[in-house]
């Protein structure tokens, strides 16, 4: 029984598989058909973006989908190659070898393997919280910058010129001298595809609705637009013999299923790829889990974040052993999956079968597919990731969050994805520590007619010149311990009548060893001056810990349940009079 | 006037200098005499520890003291070479060149210059909070480990053998093969000095008290013990010609004052020394400011932490241009300064004059001074820094603080000072983030007869099955945003009767952009399920910020002043009945 429960936890397929019906099967099959049509051009395009041969994109769209169907907990998530992870893969692999070499391909496979193992380890060790260190502004800024960089990079194939580089700035600089070599045929195909795809996004759906299609059908049809662009431009290249005019085409895509083999295992290679693989894993996971949670919430389904790590880990490792590159749950495909009505993860497995059929039978049709069209589909897809409005919105809400976001964007554009992301994470942690290093401290007094104490600068309150009541609006820990120590010393020095200091601690969620040391120092200094130190409203967990310290014995005053109790114990007369006063409330 | 105030702020000497009297002068002069006697052997010993010729220690004890007297705010702080900074200096300079070379000396001078500029910049830009990132357990562990490492390293000169290495482990390993070469004369001098100095620390003072000396006089006399050891062993080496028996001696110390010159300014050298210099600065500052604050508090004097950065910055830069190495406020010297009754920083300036006299006239007397004696004084001094009891005490109070402390100690001993310190800082930040990433959330209910709400697991409270009241015991920010989001989703899923969720926020000191995003997601998901979301007891600064967000308009419920108000607005009947119930209290 225990074993069965465990198996169920790690193999969600046992849960939904047991309830699988022929109706669910028909439905999942239909969904898989739609997603397959959408995934073929995407997988080719993202392989191109990652600097890899097209078949690698197809390989990454088979084994991972089947493994996710076995291990995943989301019913709608569609796993496979995605734009941002492909860009990060290209950046990391470029540090190992140049595009087109077997070493480059080996590096991307190794990235998928390392990512897979890292995600698996994070899932088994329940380290999913690591993903939380990517704050929302940082991930949002990073995705915006990646979108801009990808779009800029894909402009080159659209124009039929070369571009390379690890950052937006590099890519643009490398394009400029080549602007004279624009290929007119390629440009026509590329720009026409771009215009068509943008129109499909914005103009087609209203038109279809006008023709009486349902909202859902119009949405789905609009999503298969890229297939039309691909069919038309492929036919044009073939019909007019444009590949002889310098239009770059996909060419021979090897027929057949991927061969399974172990990924490259050299230790030195793994050591070099560890940090990029970790970043790819975390960015991929954050993207994937937020899509999964959002879609699950709409249908009241559960998604287990730790099991999702395991599922993505298996998918990536599966991608690696079948010759693919890093994968994750993609936003647009998952939404299509969801809208089309995917009922179980089996839809993903059927999609994998669809892709397998395509690699077996359709690859000759892809021979004349122009790269420019694939690049156009990437540009249209990634521009939806760019969210510049978020900068303004974040700035409006919090300057420091906006600073982390802008830093991430600028450094990603100028220095590349790794430095941009790491700097963003580092800065957001630093800014948080900085903010908490100078916490808010309020001098409080009793609100007449109540037992409540409030900031004396904001309210009319009753105070006793002998009692200094300080409410500390922060946990006490090393970044602010010395600040609080200094604050109390100065506050006491400024009010010569003070004989008692009471620290009101409802917002103190923790007191670490540094802060305890500071409190001991404050207590000792106040004692030297004949002033007693009291605490009030100390929380249960904080109190439990204080009981294990020397501080509690050294404390010159007492620890009181409420601030009113504390003041009453020192000046019962005043506290009672203030309480009975009907001044306010 | 404004200018004068500014000058006064940056030049505290203007303040105390104006009130200087002849009585203060006499007193300061007496103190300076005592400190000079103590500082001569210390400055020689710490130069030896830093791998430098003895005169460099004397140089570092002149200009810095005068500059501190001009810029410093502590009346008792005695600036000069100290043990831990000397060890760190040796470790950093060893990465540039080997001991005894002009490059090594240049590196130590450059370290003092960079430290000086960094401290100055931190003071002028008010970046003193950076020092707070050294948590108390980390600095305490670091000083303990440094003490152990220094003592181990100085055991070699005491035995007359060689030792080298950047960590405790290296030093011990390098000593073992040389144990056969122990010099018996050196060992006798070294061990005798050690025994004598330990006795001076522990046995001399009670004896002096028995002879009727005052407590203070006994303390001061015990502090000049090293001078006696030095005089006796120097005489012995000279009298018995022990230097010809292989006893290493200080030898010729160049006579005269230091020559002023610019420190080495190569950019590549500065780049290599930047991180070590930053660490030396921060460790030195933390050591110095805590001594200064402790002593100032005893006499109700003020110390300005930002001005202290400026003063230490000037002192270090002054040390560099006069051929010295990094300095800071030392604990034992400052305590002597304080106990002897230093009234103004002028005592420091007079000490500098005392040291200058010594370099002019006393250096020939130091010729036969055995290194073993200096090493013995270092060992006795640093062993007082080793505080192993603190590990147990910290472990008892907080496991994660103890983990940071133990990591710092072990990595310092095994990998050296820089890695140890950086790992400790990194780990303490990580552990803090980890702790706050899974905050405490309590489901609360109303305590009968009151308007107070408490954890329903700990108290008998009144609850409404339609209302889920959650008290969040943490600030909401990126490391815990997703946790809180998930927690609320699960709590709602577990209680099917819930129609209203109220988040009680008295401990929420901040809500960052990531947490705002999570709250928006929670609100949207609850709305889909027909559940309203309310907040209560939101703090002023948090409220001010929420008012600038979209969240406040999207929120399905309201923001209430107190939790009682929130519950009353939903179920006035129940709240009233609970309040009127005389069940408890």
Q: What is the ipTM metric for this complex?
A: 0.79
Ranges of chain A with pLDDT below 50: 583-585
- In eight-state DSSP terms, residue B204 is I
> Which of the listed residues A407, A429, A451 is the one where a domain comes to its end?
A429
Between chains, do A479 and B545 touch, taking CB under 8 Å as contact? no
Torsion angle of C-alpha atoms A117, A123, A129, A130, degrees rounded to 10: 0
- Tell me the chain B residues in contact with residue A548 when contact means C-beta distances shorter than 8 Å: 396-397
Distance (Å, rounded) from C-alpha A399 to C-alpha A428? 11
Q: Which residue from B142, B432, B334, B328 is spatially nearest to A475, judged by alpha carbons?
A: B432
Q: Does residue B17 lie within any of the structural domains? A: no
| Nearest CB to B437 within list A129, A493, A540 | A129
Q: Do A440 and B297 touch (CB under 8 A)?
A: no
Query: What are the counts of helices (DSSP H) followed by strands (DSSP E) for chain B?
Result: 27, 8
Q: Torsion angle of alpha carbons B365, B366, B368, B373, nearest 10°?
A: 130
Distance CA B282, CA B284 (A): 5
The verdict on a CB contact (< 8 Å) between A398 and B512 is: yes
C-alpha distances in Å from residue A518, one per residue of A480, A514, B408: 10, 6, 21
Mean pLDDT of chain B: 89
- Could B136 and A397 be called an inter-chain contact, meaning their C-beta atoms sit closer than 8 Å? no
Residue of B nearest to A529 (CA): B300
Question: Mind listing the pLDDT tens digit for each residue in B157-166?
Answer: 999 888 888 8
- DSSP-based three-state secondary structure for A203: helix
Q: Looking at the structure, do residues B373 and B502 belong to the same domain, yes or no?
A: no
Indicate if A179 and A261 belong to the same structural domain. yes
A544 to chain B, closest Cα gap in Å = 10
Q: What is the mean pLDDT of residues B396-423?
A: 92
pLDDT score, position A582:
58
Whether B477 and B392 share a structural domain: no
Q: What is the pLDDT of residue B1?
A: 55
- Across B37-47, b (16+ Cβ under 10 Å) vs e yields bbbbbbbbbbb
Q: Which residues of A touch B393 (CB under 8 A)?
A: 550
DSSP E strand boundaries for A35-130: 79-80
For residues B359 and B457, membership in a common domain is answered with no
User: Does residue A529 fall inside a structural domain?
Assistant: yes
Q: Break chain B down into helix, strand, coil percent, rounded to 5.
A: 65, 5, 25
Same domain, A495 and A412: no
Q: What is the pLDDT of residue B495?
A: 85
CB contact under 8 A, A297 and B480: no
The answer to whether B539 and A474 are in contact (CB under 8 A) is no
Per-residue model confidence as pLDDT tens digits over B1-58: 577 777 877 888 888 888 888 888 888 888 888 888 888 888 999 999 999 999 999 9
Domain that holds residue B425: 22-429
Backbone phi, psi, residue B82, to 5° = -130, 165
- Distance (Å) of CA B11 to CA B4, B309, B329, B483: 10, 13, 18, 51
A390, A468: one domain: no
Residue A1 confidence (pLDDT): 55
Of B429, B450, B466, which closes a domain?
B429
B231 alpha carbon, distance to own chain's centre = 35
Tell me the two tokens of residue A376: 């156009």
Residue B164 CA to residue B151 CA, distance in Å, equals 13
Specify which residues A500 forms β-bridges with: A467, A532
Sequence-distant (6+) residues with CB within 8 A of A532 are A499, A500, A501, A526, A556, A557
Cβ–Cβ below 8 Å for A483 and B540: no
Residues B452, B504, single domain; the answer is yes
Quick check: A503 and A472 in contact, CB under 8 A?
yes
Whether residues B136 and A517 touch (CB distance < 8 A) is answered with yes
Which pairs with CB-CB distance under 8 Å and at least 24 residues apart come from A417-420?
Answer: A417/A87, A417/A88, A417/A91, A417/A142, A417/A146, A417/A149, A417/A166, A417/A167, A417/A279, A418/A88, A418/A91, A418/A92, A418/A275, A418/A276, A418/A279, A420/A142, A420/A145
Quick: pLDDT tens for B316-341. Answer: 999 999 999 999 998 888 888 888 88
CA dihedral angle for residue A353, residue A356, residue A358, residue A364, rounded to 10 degrees: -170
Looking at the structure, tell me whether residues A519 and A452 fall in a common domain: yes
Q: What is the pLDDT of residue A138?
A: 92
Rg (C-alpha) for chain A, rounded Å, is 31
**What CATH number is associated with residue A489?**
3.30.750.24
Q: Which residue has the higher pLDDT, B413 or A27?
A: B413
- Poorest-confidence range of A315-319, B130-134, B171-175, B234-238? B130-134
User: Which of A293, A459, A509 is most worth mutating to test chain B (most B CB atoms within 10 A of its CB)?
Assistant: A509
- My answer on whether A449 and A417 are in the same domain is no
Residues B374-401: tens digit of each pLDDT: 999 989 888 888 999 999 999 999 988 9
Whether residue B12 is contained in a domain is answered as: no
A346 and A412 part of one domain: yes
Degrees (nearest 5) of the Cα angle A271, A272, A276?
110
Which residue of A431, A455, A478 is the best one to mutate when testing the B interface, meaning the one whose CB has the most B CBs within 10 A? A478
Cα distance from A77 to chain B (closest Cα, Å)? 18
Question: What is the rounded distance in angstroms from the CA atom of residue B283 to the CA atom of residue B275?
Answer: 12
Angstrom distance (rounded) from CA B468 to CA B480:
20
| Cα separation, A464 vs A501, whole angstroms | 11
B102 touches chain A (CB under 8 A): no
Predicted confidence band of residue B482 (pLDDT cuts 50, 70, 90): confident
Task: Give first-to-last CA distance, chain B, whole Å.
Answer: 61
Helix, coil or strand: residue A501: strand
Answer yes or no: is B245 within a domain.
yes
| Contact indicator for B143, B84 with CB cutoff of 8 Å | yes
Is the CB of B433 less than 8 angstroms away from the CB of A512? no
Secondary structure tally for chain A: helices H, strands E: 27, 8
Given a cut of 50, whether residue B584 has pLDDT beyond it is no
- The answer on B448 and B424 residing in a single domain is no
**B141 touching chain A per CB within 8 A:** no
Neighbours of A290 (CB within 10 A): 18
Instruction: Write down the residue that tokens 């919105």 correspond to.
Output: A393
What would the two tokens of residue A374 be? 């694939």
Is residue A435 in a domain?
Answer: no
**DSSP string over A447-491:** PTTSS-EEETTTS--B--TTEEEEEE-S-B-HHHHHHHHHHHHHH
Q: Is the pLDDT of residue B448 over 50?
A: yes
Q: State which residue of chain B sits closest to A289, comparing Cα positions.
A: B482
Query: How many Å apart are CA B30 and CA B34, to the nearest integer?
Result: 7
pLDDT at position A585: 42
Crossing angle of the two packed helices B399-415 and A513-528, in degrees rounded to 10: 110
Share of chain A above pLDDT 70, in %: 99
Residue B252 pLDDT > 90: no
Contact A486, B131 (CB under 8 A): no
Residues of A in contact with B395 (CB under 8 A): none
Among all residues of chain A, which has the CA nearest to that of B562? A452
Exposure of A254 by Cβ count < 10 A (0-12 exposed, 13-18 middle, 19+ buried)?
Answer: exposed
Domain count across chain A: 2
Q: Which of residues 409-428 of A touch B (CB under 8 A)?
A: 428
Residues B284 and B64: their CA atoms lie apart, in Å, by 14
pTM of the predicted model as reported, rounded to 2 decimal places: 0.80
Tell me what the mean pLDDT of segment B466-490 comes to.
90
Distance CA A281, CA A286 (A): 9
* B133 contacts in chain A (CB < 8 Å): 433, 478-479
Whether B407 and B472 map to the same domain: the answer is: no
- The answer to whether residue A547 sits within a structural domain is yes
Measured between beta carbons, the chain B residues lying within 8 angstroms of A541 are 440, 473
Distance CA B89, CA B78 (A): 19
For A341-356, what is the HEC assignment? CCCCCHHHHHHHHHHH
In a domain, B434, yes or no: no
Residue A325's nearest CA partner among A334, A333, A315 is A315
Edge-to-edge order in the sheet of strand A532-536: A453-455, A441-446, A467-472, A500-504, A532-536, A559-560
Determine the Cα–Cα distance for residues A64 and A311; give it in Å rounded to an integer.
9
10-39 of A, contacting B, C-beta below 8 A: none
B423 assigned to some structural domain: yes
The last residue of one of the domains, among B370, B404, B429, is B429
Q: How confident is the model at residue B246 (pLDDT cuts 50, 70, 90)?
A: confident
The pLDDT tens digits of the residues spanning B281-303 come to 999 999 898 888 778 877 767 78
d(CA A68, CA A345): 7
Q: What per-residue confidence (pLDDT) applies to B194?
A: 94
pLDDT reported for residue B556: 94
């Amino acid at each position: 029984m225990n074993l069965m429960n465990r198996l169920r936890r790690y193999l969600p397929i046992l849960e939904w598989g047991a309830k699988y019906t022929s109706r669910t099967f028909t439905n999942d099959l239909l969904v898989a058909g739609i997603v397959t049509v959408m995934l073929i051009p995407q997988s080719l395009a993202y392989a191109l973006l990652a600097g890899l041969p097209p078949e690698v994109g197809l390989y990454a769209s088979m084994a991972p989908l089947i493994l996710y169907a076995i291990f995943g907990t989301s019913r709608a998530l569609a796993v496979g190659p995605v734009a941002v992870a492909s860009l990060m893969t290209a950046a990391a692999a470029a540090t190992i070898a140049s595009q087109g070499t077997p070493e480059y391909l080996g590096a991307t496979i190794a990235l998928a393997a390392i990512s897979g193992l890292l995600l698996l380890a994070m899932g088994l060790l329940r380290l999913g919280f690591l993903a939380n260190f990517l704050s929302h502004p940082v991930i949002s800024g990073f995705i915006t910058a990646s979108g801009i960089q990808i779009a800029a990079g894909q402009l080159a194939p659209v124009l039929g010129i070369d571009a390379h580089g690890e950052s937006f700035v590099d890519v643009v600089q490398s394009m400029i001298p080549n602007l004279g070599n624009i290929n007119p045929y390629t440009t026509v195909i590329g720009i026409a595809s771009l215009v068509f795809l943008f129109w499909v996004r914005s103009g087609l759906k209203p038109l279809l609705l006008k023709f009486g299609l349902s909202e859902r059908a119009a949405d789905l049809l609009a999503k298969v637009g890229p297939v039309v662009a691909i069919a038309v431009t492929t036919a044009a290249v073939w019909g007019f013999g444009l590949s002889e005019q310098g239009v770059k085409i996909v060419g021979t895509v090897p027929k057949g299923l991927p061969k399974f083999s172990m990924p490259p295992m050299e230790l030195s290679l793994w050591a070099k790829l560890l940090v990029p693989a970790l970043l790819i894993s975390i960015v991929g996971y954050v993207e994937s889990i937020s899509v999964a949670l959002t879609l699950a919430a709409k249908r009241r389904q559960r998604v287990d974040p730790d099991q999702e790590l395991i599922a993505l880990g298996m998918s990536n490792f599966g991608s690696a052993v079948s010759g693919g590159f890093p994968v994750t749950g993609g936003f647009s495909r998952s939404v299509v999956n969801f809208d089309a009505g995917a009922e179980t993860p089996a839809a993903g497995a059927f999609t994998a079968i669809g892709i397998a059929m395509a690699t077996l039978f359709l690859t000759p049709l892809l021979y004349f597919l122009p790269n420019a069209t694939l690049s156009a589909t990437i540009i249209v897809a990634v521009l939806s990731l760019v969210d510049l409005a978020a900068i303004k919105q974040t700035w409006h809400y919090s300057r420091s969050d906006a600073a982390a976001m802008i830093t991430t964007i600028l450094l990603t554009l100028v220095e590349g994805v790794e430095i941009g992301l790491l700097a963003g994470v580092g800065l957001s942690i630093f800014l948080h520590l900085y903010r908490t290093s100078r916490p808010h401290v309020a001098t409080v007094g009793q609100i007449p007619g109540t037992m409540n104490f409030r900031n004396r600068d904001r309210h009319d309150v009753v105070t006793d010149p002998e009692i200094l009541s300080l409410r500390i609006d922060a946990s006490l820990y090393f970044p602010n311990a010395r600040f609080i120590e200094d604050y109390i010393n100065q506050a006491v020095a400024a009010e010569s009548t003070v004989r008692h200091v009471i620290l009101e601690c409802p917002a103190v969620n923790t007191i670490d060893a540094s802060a305890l040391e500071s409190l001991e120092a404050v207590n000792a200094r106040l004692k030297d001056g004949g002033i007693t130190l009291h605490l009030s409203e100390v929380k249960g967990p904080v109190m439990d810990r204080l009981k294990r310290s020397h501080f509690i014995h050294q404390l010159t005053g007492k620890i009181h349940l409420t601030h009113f109790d504390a003041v009453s114990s020192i000046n019962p007369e005043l506290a009672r009079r203030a309480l009975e006063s009907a001044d306010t409330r």
